[in-house]
Amino acid sequence: MTDLTPILQAVRQAAQLCQEVQQRHVVRSDKAGHEPVTIADYGSQAIICRALKQAFPQDGVMAEESGKQFIELVPPPERAYIINLVGQILGEHITEAQMVDWLDHGKDVETARLWVIDPIDGTKGFLGQRHYVNAVGVLQDRRPVGGVIAAPAYPG
C-alpha cells in the first residue's frame, strides 16, 4: 500500500493556496479549446507535484497543466504572484524554473505506479466562488489503489 501522508499534506497546501487566490486574486486564462485555467490550477499542481517528486521521484504523473502552458498563458505579474504564494505556503523561496519543473514532473514517464492529478476539478465553480476540489489519485498497474481529495469551498 502506498503511503499517502506526503500527498495529503500537499493537497492541504494546495487547498490553502486555492482559498487565498480565490479571496484575493482570481484571473482566468483559456487553454486551447477554450477551457478555463487559473493561476491556482498551476500553483496547486506545482505543490502536489513537488511532493510527488520528493516522496516518489521515479513515479509517473498524469496532470492537466504544463510548464510550457504556464509560461505562455500566464502574464509575468501573475506568474510572479503565484510563484511567491507557492513559496510562502511551502515556507521557502522558489524560482520560476522550479515551478515549471514541478509542473512537468513525471510526465511521459511510464511506471507501474501512476499519479493522476486534477489541481482544480471544477475550475468554473472555482471562478464562480462555488464548489471545486483538488484531486489526486494513484494507480498501480492501471488499477486505482488510493487517492486524496480536498473540497476547500465545502461548508463545514
Res 85: pLDDT:
98
Cβ-contact 123, 132 below 8 angstroms: yes
What is the predicted pLDDT for the residue at 26?
Answer: 62
Task: Give CATH for domain 5-150.
Answer: 3.30.540.10
d(CA 27, CA 5): 31
Residues 5-43 have pLDDT tens digits of 999 999 999 999 999 998 886 655 666 666 788 999 999
Q: In whole angstroms, how far apart are CA 48 and each of 13, 70, 102, 129?
A: 8, 16, 8, 22
pLDDT for the residue numbered 129 = 87
Can you say how many angstroms the Cα of residue 54 is from the centroid of all Cα atoms in its chain? 15
Question: Among the options 38, 59, 118, 123, which is catalytic?
Answer: 123
* Residue 2 among the catalytic residues: no
Between residues 67 and 26, which one has the greater pLDDT?
Answer: 67
Radius of gyration of the chain (CA): 14
Domain boundary assignment for the chain: 5-150
Contacts of 58 (CB under 8 A, 6+ apart): 109, 111
DSSP structural state of residue 8: H
Which pLDDT score, from 0 to 100, does residue 27 have? 59
Catalytic residue among 41, 59, 104, 118: 41
Nearest to 133 by CA among 36, 35, 18, 6: 18
Q: What's the pLDDT score for residue 20?
A: 94
| Three cell numbers written together for 71 | 509560461
Active site residue 123: yes
Kindly report the pTM of this predicted structure: 0.94
Question: What is the pLDDT averaged over residues 142-154?
Answer: 95
Note the pLDDT tens digit of each residue in 85-99.
999 999 999 999 999
